[in-house]
């Protein structure tokens, strides 16, 4: 009898279209993971040991084939000096935009990620993962995408207007954010990350014209950098990315997370012949959290039906905290081939 594949072998084989025993389960868990080990969201975001514990438990119990250092988008913002509020049981946020007006861009400084408490905490998480998983599960570090980080510091609505009204200031800002992103990715790869996830959710709010003008080049640059560092890239843009699929196919990301509002078969097709593998795209609420086990099975089958030999399966975005455990177990069972 063949020895079962490790998650690492499964994910890496699937990326290359080689045989696997199970389609990799790439579910993204944060609040759900914290719940499994009964910790507050604040603890999850501030104590790397508990975060690691929660992700390892999630991997073991629910068959998730990666462990990831993702918790919230405000680690780099804290590093830049934003006042980040850490609610007991909610996602950290900035009370005030650090870049209240565009003249403040010049005051932003790229910092050593290891000098920032919140960024260092993520690096420590990766080091601990590395010592725990012993090469059997891929470790995913995380950085904010340039556009997402700009939104964290400036506010979403303000950023959207700035793209139209102040393009030169935006480029000036993005260059600083890119340098910070690269520095943060580097220390995570050095700490043992096999992948760097790039979270750029806000990019689904802009169309192909602005994505081409402001985002594509930065995605390509950081992805090339991360590849040169020796890691792979998982690009996460939740929301409706269907209008920019053609551009995303040019990013050279290894994995792209496809949200549930996107036609999965179109995404798979858009990435044919490129390096990028489509991962997705069950609706985390209606097809996983609120669904019956039978509905979960149907939703997974629907994705497998359109999958190619490299496609991976997960919720289109984060698995909600109150998702029934049984649904997650059932979803994983259904991924075995």
Partner 1 sequence: MNETLTSINELMQKGNMAEVVRLSQVAIDEGSTSTDILNALLSGMSVVGVKFKNNEVFVPEVLMAARAMNGGLDVIKPLLEAEGVESIGKVVIGTVQGDLHDIGKNLVSMMMVGAGFEVIDLGVNVTPEKYVNALIESKAQLICMYALLTTTMVNMKKVIEALEESGLRDTVKVMIGGAPVTEKFAIEIGADKYAKDASSAADEARKLIAV
- Considering only residues 322, 325, 326, 336, which one is a binding residue for partner 1 as defined by CB under 8 A? 322
* Cβ neighbourhood burial of 104 (10 Å; 0-12, 13-18, 19+): middle
Q: Counting contacts by CB under 8 A, is residue 90 touching partner 1?
A: yes
- Considering only residues 175, 286, 301, 308, which one is a binding residue for partner 1 as defined by CB under 8 A? 286
Shortest Å, Cβ 259 to partner 1: 9
User: Could you identify the residue written with the tokens 């979803």?
Assistant: 331
Binding marks (x or -) toward partner 1, 18..47, rule CB under 8 A? Answer: -------------x----------------
Of 226, 214, 203, 238, nearest to 275 by C-alpha is 226
Cβ 170 vs Cβ 154: under 8 Å: no
Q: Counting contacts by CB under 8 A, is residue 266 touching partner 1?
A: no
- Considering only residues 217, 242, 252, 263, which one is a binding residue for partner 1 as defined by CB under 8 A? 242
Note every long-range contact of 100-105, with CB atoms under 8 Å and residues 24 or more positions apart, other chains counting: 102/162, 102/166, 102/169, 102/173, 105/169, 105/172, 105/173, 105/176
Residues 24 and 119: their CA atoms lie apart, in Å, by 28
- Grouping H, G, I as helix, E, B as strand and the rest as coil, residue 219 is helix
The DSSP 8-state label assigned to residue 252 in this structure reads -
- Considering only residues 13, 37, 46, 93, which one is a binding residue for partner 1 as defined by CB under 8 A? 93
Residues 179 and 156: their CA atoms lie apart, in Å, by 21
- Considering only residues 45, 173, 289, 335, which one is a binding residue for partner 1 as defined by CB under 8 A? 289
Residues 329 and 337: their CA atoms lie apart, in Å, by 16
Q: Which stretch binds partner 1 (CB under 8 A): 88-96, 169-177, 247-255, 306-314?
A: 88-96
Cβ 314 vs Cβ 308: under 8 Å: no
Preceding amide of 281 cis, omega within 30: yes
Comparison of 172 and 242: residue with beta carbon closer to partner 1: 242
Residues 6+ apart with CB under 8 A from 87: 41, 42, 93
Binding to partner 1 in span 204-223, by CB under 8 A: 205-207, 210
Comparison of 31 and 278: residue with beta carbon closer to partner 1: 31
Residues 6+ apart with CB under 8 A from 182: 222, 225
- Considering only residues 156, 229, 297, 307, which one is a binding residue for partner 1 as defined by CB under 8 A? 156
Comparison of 89 and 107: residue with beta carbon closer to partner 1: 89
Shortest Å, Cβ 157 to partner 1: 6
Joined tokens for residue 315? 């919720």
Binding-residue total with partner 1 (CB under 8 A): 27
Comparison of 95 and 101: residue with beta carbon closer to partner 1: 95
Binding marks (x or -) toward partner 1, 95..134, rule CB under 8 A? Answer: ----------------------------------------
- Considering only residues 120, 160, 169, 307, which one is a binding residue for partner 1 as defined by CB under 8 A? 160
Q: Counting contacts by CB under 8 A, is residue 84 touching partner 1?
A: no
Shortest Å, Cβ 203 to partner 1: 10
Binding marks (x or -) toward partner 1, 180..199, rule CB under 8 A? Answer: --------------------
Looking from the CA of 330 toward its CB, the CA atoms found within 13 Å total 19
Q: Counting contacts by CB under 8 A, is residue 163 touching partner 1?
A: yes
Residues 6+ apart with CB under 8 A from 39: 47, 50, 54
Binding site for partner 1 (CB under 8 A): 31, 89-91, 93, 156-157, 160-161, 163-164, 205-207, 210, 239-240, 242-243, 284-286, 289-290, 320-322
């Amino acid at each position: 009898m063949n020895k079962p594949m490790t998650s690492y072998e499964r994910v890496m084989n699937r990326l290359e279209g080689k045989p696997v025993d199970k389609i990799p389960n790439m579910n993204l868990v944060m609040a759900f993971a914290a719940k499994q080990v009964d910790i507050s969201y604040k603890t999850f975001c501030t104590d790397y040991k508990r975060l690691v514990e929660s992700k390892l438990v999630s991997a073991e119990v629910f068959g998730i084939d990666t462990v990831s250092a993702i918790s919230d988008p405000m680690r780099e913002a804290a590093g830049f000096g934003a006042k980040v509020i850490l609610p007991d049981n909610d996602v950290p946020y900035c009370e005030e935009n650090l870049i209240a007006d565009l003249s403040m861009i010049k005051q932003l400084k790229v910092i050593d990620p290891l000098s920032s408490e919140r960024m260092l905490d993520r690096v420590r998480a990766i080091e601990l993962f590395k010592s725990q998983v012993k090469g059997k599960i891929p470790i995913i570090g995380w950085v904010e995408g340039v556009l997402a980080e700009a939104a964290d510091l400036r506010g979403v609505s303000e950023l959207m207007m700035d793209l139209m009204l102040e393009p030169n200031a935006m480029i000036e800002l993005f260059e600083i954010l890119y340098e910070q992103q690269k520095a943060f990715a580097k220390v995570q790869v050095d700490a043992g990350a096999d992948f760097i996830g790039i979270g750029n959710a806000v990019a689904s709010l802009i169309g192909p014209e602005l994505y081409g003008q402001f985002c594509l080049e930065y995605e390509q640059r950081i992805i090339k950098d991360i590849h040169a560092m020796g890691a792979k890239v998982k690009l996460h843009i939740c929301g409706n990315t269907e209008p920019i699929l053609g551009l995303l196919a040019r990013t050279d990301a290894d994995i792209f997370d496809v949200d549930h509002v996107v036609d999965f078969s179109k995404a798979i097709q858009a990435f044919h012949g490129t390096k990028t593998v489509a991962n997705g795209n069950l609706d985390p609420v209606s097809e996983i959290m609120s669904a019956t086990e039978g509905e979960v099975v149907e939703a997974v089958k629907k994705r497998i039906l359109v999958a190619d030999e490299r496609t991976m399966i997960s919720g289109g975005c984060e698995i909600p905290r109150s998702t029934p455990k049984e649904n997650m177990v059932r979803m994983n069972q259904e991924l075995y081939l």
